[in-house]
Amino acid sequence: MPTHAQSPAEGRVVLDAGDISRALVRISHEILERNKGAEDLLLLGLHTRGVPLARRLADNIAKVEGTTPPTGSLDVTMYRDDLRSHPTRAPHRTELPAGGIDGKTVVLVDDVLYSGRTIRAALDALSDLGRPAVVRLAVLVDRGHRELPIRADHVGKNLPTARSERVSLRLSEIDGEDEVTIR
Amino acid sequence: MNRHLLSIDDLEVADIHRIFATAAEMHDVQKREVKKLPALRGRTVINLFFEDSTRTRSSFEIAGKWLSADVINLSAKGSSASKGESLRDTALTVTAMGIDGLVVRHSASGAAEQISRWVDVPVINAGDGTHEHPTQALLDGYALTRKLGTLEGKHVAIVGDVTHSRVFRSNVKSLVKLGASVTVVAPPTLMPSGVGDWSKAAGFATSYDLDAVLPDVDAVMMLRVQRERMSGGFFPTAREYTVGYGLTRNRLDLLKPGTPILHPGPMNRGLEISPDAADAADSLVLDQVSSGVAVRMSVLYHLLAGEPESMGGESA
């Protein structure tokens, strides 16, 4: 179990648990506002930390709308353009709700938006899975340094960074606590 | 993971689990409308088959194509091999075309390994003589793991022509690695000579009495009786083989309820496996075929998709 004493060594905390929670509540409202309700909404989390984020957004939306929008998970390993420059790894599960993605408003949910290459891969993966009516992108942190013409529709926090810095998100579902650090 | 897949010995237990985990994802692709993943786009795989095969070759072909690789089938019949070209020249010639992987089937044990020493691309053994057939063992292990949850502590019987079976040799290694206990059942004439020392070293048991083994097992794997053995004096008649070692309707009653039945195919119905067993609800035969595509996709992905120098490590 990590202790707080370790946190400074792991970098500067830029978002604590309260900040993350408030950002997710705001994004949930933005998604609803943009979509004019929760109809045909599907929240698709990108592995690894986008998956619990998508579930939290769905829970927030349920509190406002009364119904929980369907969530799913998307693994883009096979679609990455840097597949050849890394050792292979086993892909994670791609899980879609029973209705599929056809005609849905799909909100891709990821933790940190950086080069945009993961999102590019996710868009390719989506087109093999069906034809959504609309695809939007929600991220907790946008750290800049895009390498492709991709932008997020909903951003928790814009975080100017240097390329040499490392932004990492910890989530209680996976890491035992909520925190965004930079080092 | 090794650069080639020539034998189950090339795989650590963790490698096998990684192949299974990837295969589970590949299995889902078979249910999709667009059965394509772009992982091997721009890569070319040659199926170099010096021995007849329908299901293994088409399984590798489908697996490669669903990963977006270009797959070319070369069979020995009508090729330069039948004109007297040596194995080495054939292997070097096809590799010189600029391909990225070779899938090799040959009637000589060790052919795939020999080829792997000559060429500079990953080689996958799709069956070499009576030696090994690693992807068959992986798909059997994968299908069984899906059915039983785990193979740890499970008891599997492998029944039939053990002496001539590469499916058996690969399977006994992978099943033992995955924690299963294996009992090999065969008529004395089809049990390899010196099996006593081998079974001790490899960790499996042997038996000549199928009826005694069946009530205790969690899965039973039937091996094909190869027709050419019929005239080889290994057993008097087909009928006699069936009575002693066939999975007949009566023997099904000896199995615990729900015991999965495997057969690598092609089946000799009425010889080593009765139609009642082949078509039983617990028969995994067709599941093995669909698992075969998923497992071969997984193997092709792990051997061909990544960076060759650093292959095998887990990326962060």
> Domains, chain B, ranges and CATH?
8-133+289-304 (3.40.50.1370), 134-288 (3.40.50.1370)
**Chain A CB contacts of B305 below 8 Å:** 83-84, 88
Print burial letters for B242-279: b (CB count within 10 Å at least 16), e (below 16).
beebbbbeebbebbeeebbbbbbbebbeebbbbeebbe
Mark yes or no for CB contact A87/B306 under 8 Å: yes
CA-based nearest residue in chain A for residue B14: A90
d(CA A77, CA B181): 35
Return the domain boundaries, chain A. Answer: 12-80+94-182
Mark yes or no for CB contact B301/A87 under 8 Å: no
Work out the mean pLDDT of chain B and round it to a whole number. 92
Min Cα distance B304 → chain A (Å) is: 9
User: In the predicted model, what is the mean pLDDT of residues A7-36?
Assistant: 90
Distance of CA A123 to the CA centre of its chain: 14
pLDDT of residue B233: 80
Residues 55-74 of A with CB under 8 A from B: none
**B312 closest CB neighbour out of A84, A87, A94:** A87
pLDDT in tens, B68-97: 999 999 987 766 677 788 999 999 999 999
The count of other CB atoms within 10 Å of the CB of residue B156 is: 27
Is B187 within 8 Å of B238 (Cβ atoms)?
no
Structure tokens at A165: 């810095």
Please say if the pLDDT value at position A17 is more than 80: yes
Mark yes or no for CB contact B22/A79 under 8 Å: no
Mark yes or no for CB contact A84/B22 under 8 Å: no
A86 pLDDT band, cuts 50/70/90, is: confident
pLDDT in tens, B11-32: 999 999 999 999 999 998 888 8
Structure tokens at B205: 């048991």
Mutate to test the interface with B, among A81, A88, A117, A131 (most CBs of B within 10 A): A88
Q: In what order do the strands lie in the sheet with B123-128?
A: B70-75, B44-49, B101-106, B123-128
**B34 closest CB neighbour out of A89, A92, A128:** A128
CA-based nearest residue in chain A for residue B36: A128
Higher pLDDT: B172 or B29? It is B172
Inform me whether the C-beta atom of residue A82 falls under 8 Å from chain B C-beta atoms.
Answer: no
Least confident among B60-64, B120-124, B309-313: B309-313
Distance of CA B71 to the CA centre of its chain: 20
**Can you list the positions of beta strands (E) in B160-316?**
181-185, 204-207, 219-222, 261-262
Mark yes or no for CB contact B39/A85 under 8 Å: no
d(CA B90, CA A170): 54
Inform me whether the C-beta atom of residue A98 falls under 8 Å from chain B C-beta atoms.
Answer: no
d(CA B136, CA A138): 44
B308 pLDDT band, cuts 50/70/90, is: low
- Percentage of chain A modeled with pLDDT above 70: 95
**B32 closest CB neighbour out of A84, A89, A129:** A129
pLDDT in tens, B175-186: 999 999 999 999
What's this model's pTM, rounded to 2 decimal places?
Answer: 0.90
Which class in CATH covers the domain with range A12-80+94-182?
alpha beta
Give which of A52, A151, A154, A44 is closest to A108, Cα–Cα. Answer: A44
Q: How many CA atoms lie within 13 A of A31 on its CB side?
A: 36
Give which of B97, B90, B103 is closest to B59, Cα–Cα. Answer: B103
- Chain A to chain B, count of Cβ pairs less than 8 Å apart? 56
pLDDT of residue B316: 33
User: Does the ipTM surpass 0.85?
Assistant: no
pLDDT of residue B270: 93
Angle (nearest 5°) at CA A87 between A85 and A89: 125
pLDDT of residue B234: 86
Residues 8-37 of A with CB under 8 A from B: none
Inform me whether the C-beta atom of residue A86 falls under 8 Å from chain B C-beta atoms.
Answer: yes
**Chain B CB contacts of A130 below 8 Å:** 33
Please say if the pLDDT value at position B310 is more than 70: no
Give which of A16, A23, A47 is closest to A170, Cα–Cα. Answer: A16
d(CA A126, CA B91): 40
